[in-house]
Amino acid sequence: MGEKVLSVEGYDPLVIFGANENKLEIIRHLFPQLKVIVRGEMIKLVGPEDAIKSFEIYFDQVLMHIEQYHTVSEADLEMIASSDPEITKKFLPDDVLVHGRNGAQIKARTENQRKMVESVNKNDLTFAIGPAGTGKTYTAVALAVRALKNKEVKRLILARPAVEAGESLGFLPGDMKEKLDPYMMPLYDALRDMLPGAKLEKYLEDGTIEIAPLAYMRGRTLDQAFAILDEAQNATPNQLKMFLTRMGNTAKFIVTGDITQIDLPKKQQSGLVQATKILKNISGIEIIYLDEKDIVRHPLVGKIIKAYQKDENQIGFLSKMDYRNTDD
């Protein structure tokens, strides 16, 4: 016997279970081996492990149907249950990180992205380093949203060094969110793919999701939180050390960056380059390297990156192998 709690946060329970729970009764009838208890946005399953696994596969497809059609009928619930099991295998919950808007399944799409997922599952601190387009930030945000939906953490902290503004945003017009938006747009874009608009706005308003410049992390302890530092190649050694030492006892941290795209002054060392050297042998910390094989944007992006790497090697910049292996 086993137990599992699932969340339907972001979905209307009335759409799933019916006004008088008539749809819930159909679901219960389809899984007679399970005790299915619904409380608000939570579903508790009690029963054999294999039946729980089958329910998860089934329920994922129910949610996908709702994402696509904005409703699900009693006939749809029975039709989904009777669908070809060979088709449903590809929707295993362990493979899908989160269900995005319009039913999109967000999952690791390359070998190194899967290594990121495995690393976060077993470590509290993961570095993901690679060029643009390799999905490191998108995968990190998906992992964070999954942790929030599964109630593994209470809040998400997303930070970036605002290098272009010199970490001094006071001279820019507007409130903090308006000042940060130009620098944080990739994070907002990822969140919008993974959370309904109203839910995202609510999370931003009540602080469940916080987006802040790296400098604003100083003096804090981030507990029961999933924290992401994006564009970490533009953090100084002191800034990156400061961020890493914010980790509370029940926190998960991901640091992402591309150390071929450092925007710091020429004489300023990148904290990310330093961290990969001094932290690489510490248990509980893993460094994942992504490369052109992980490019998930337009096919031309991979060719562009290769061309720039070739040119940078010729004029003495750090190549991919340089930043993996150099010890000076």
What's the DSSP call for residue 222?
A: B
CB neighbours of 320 closer than 8 A, spacing ≥ 6?
260, 289, 291, 309
Looking at the fold, whether 116 and 224 belong to one and the same domain comes out as yes
* Span 109-126, pLDDT tens digits: 888 999 999 999 999 999
Q: What is the mean pLDDT of the chain?
A: 83
Full residue range of the structural domain in which residue 199 is found: 106-325
- Quick: pLDDT tens for 166-223: 445 555 555 555 666 677 888 899 999 888 888 899 999 999 999 888 888 988 999 9
- The pTM of this model reads 0.65
- CATH of residue 265's domain is 3.40.50.300
Measured CA to CA, the distance from residue 177 to residue 65 in angstroms comes to 34
Q: Do 53 and 113 share a domain, yes or no?
A: no
Residues 56 and 135 in one domain: no
Which of 94, 125, 155 delimits the end of a domain?
Answer: 94
Q: How far apart are the first and last CA of the chain?
A: 55
Whether residue 100 lies inside any domain: the answer is: no
Residue 192: strand, helix, or coil:
helix
Please report whether residue 29 resides in a domain. yes
CB under 8 Å to 37, separation ≥6 — which residues? 43, 44, 45, 46
User: Do 185 and 231 fall within a single domain?
Assistant: yes
142 and 184 assigned to the same domain = yes
- Boundary residue ending a domain (65, 94, 123): 94
Can you point out the beta strands (E) in the chain? Answer: 2-7, 35-39, 42-47, 96-99, 105-107, 125-129, 155-160, 209-213, 225-229, 252-257, 285-289
Last residue of a domain, one of 94, 128, 146: 94
Taking 90 as the threshold, does the pLDDT of residue 230 lie above it?
A: yes
Mark whether 183 and 300 lie in a shared domain: yes
The whole-number pLDDT of residue 180 equals 64
Tokens coding 42: 């939570």
Q: Both 72 and 123 in a single domain?
A: no
Whether 242 and 213 have beta carbons less than 8 Å apart is answered as: no
What is the count of structural domains for the chain? Answer: 2
Same-domain check for residues 71 and 114:
no
Enumerate residues 6+ apart whose C-beta is below 8 A from 195.
Answer: 10, 101, 145, 203
**Cβ pair 274, 285 in contact under 8 A:** no
How high is the pLDDT of residue 326?
Answer: 42
Task: Let me know if residue 127 belongs to a domain.
Answer: yes
Residue 99 located in a structural domain: no
Residues 79 and 174 in one domain: no
Q: Are residues 67 and 116 in the same domain?
A: no
Tell me, yes or no, whether 168 and 248 share the same domain.
Answer: yes
Cross-strand pairs, 160: 213
